[in-house]
Amino acid sequence: MISLELQKEIGNKHKTFLVVIPSQKYNENTNELILSLTHNFNRVAYVSLNKLINPLKRTLQEKNVDMKKVFFIDGITKTAIPNPPEAENCVFVPSPDDLTKLSISITKVFQTFDPDCLFFDSLSTLLIYKDVNMITQFVHSLLSKVNAFGTMAVFTCLQGEKEEHMVKDLSLIIDKVIEEKPQQ
């Protein structure tokens, strides 16, 4: 189980992780990861680039995630609902490809919510909009913020051909890459 391997590594709260997940296990594993993170940390900033805020919150509540511990940075809802109603513990970014506004929002959440951990779901979504070099630069910049604020970070991505080059590049700047084995 992916969260068990991550759990073993959480002792050093200033680490960065890239969790590579097979597509058939993606939802199950991301839910498991956020549940584990909310058990281990008091405040988790959750960057969602592929799940609308209301269904995401419902799913996490069904999985017994302590929602008071989570602040959402939602990069997808505004693509479906241009003027979403305000949501508690949530800021909306116009779209997943607006890396500048995403970065600014993450910084503001670091300054106001003071998370112990950043959960970034998912780098694979960024690959739809940006090339690998741009994503690597963005993650490198984000890691500087993570280190400056003394926060742990967990990035997720799908396991696949398209992601291989990105995982290889990011393994140079991320402390630990954890790969879930595909189902046989």
Domain that residue 75 falls in: 16-179
Quote the pLDDT of residue 15.
87
Q: Within a domain: residue 2?
A: no
Alpha carbon distance 110, 72 (integer Å): 12
Q: Could you give the count of Cα atoms lying within 13 Å of 21 in the half-sphere of its Cβ?
A: 27
Q: Within a domain: residue 83?
A: yes
Q: How many domains does the chain have?
A: 1
Percent of the chain with pLDDT over 70: 92
Alpha carbon distance 127, 133 (integer Å): 10
Q: Within a domain: residue 24?
A: yes
Number of Cβ within 10 Å of residue 88's Cβ equals 9
The b-or-e profile of 22-37 (16+ CB within 10 A means b, else e) is eeebbeebbbbbbbbb
Q: Could you give the count of Cα atoms lying within 13 Å of 108 in the half-sphere of its Cβ?
A: 14
Number of Cβ within 10 Å of residue 138's Cβ equals 17
Q: Within a domain: residue 21?
A: yes
Task: Write out pLDDT tens, residues 132-157.
Answer: 999 999 999 999 999 999 999 999 99
Whole-prediction pTM: 0.94
Tokens read off for 22: 């097979």
Q: Within a domain: residue 28?
A: yes
User: What sign has the CA pseudo-torsion 100, 106, 107, 109?
Assistant: positive
Task: Write out pLDDT tens, residues 88-137.
Answer: 899 999 999 999 999 999 999 999 999 999 999 999 999 999 999 999 99
Quote the pLDDT of residue 114.
96
Say if CB 58 and CB 87 are below 8 A apart. Answer: no
Q: Give CA angle at 161 (30, 183), nearest 5°.
A: 50
At 154, which CATH number?
3.40.50.300
Name the residue among 32, 44, 43 with its Cα closest to residue 6: 32
Q: Within a domain: residue 8?
A: no
Close Cβ partners of 36 (under 8 Å, ≥ 6 residues apart) = 3, 6, 7
Quote the pLDDT of residue 2.
62
Q: Within a domain: residue 184?
A: no
Q: Within a domain: residue 7?
A: no
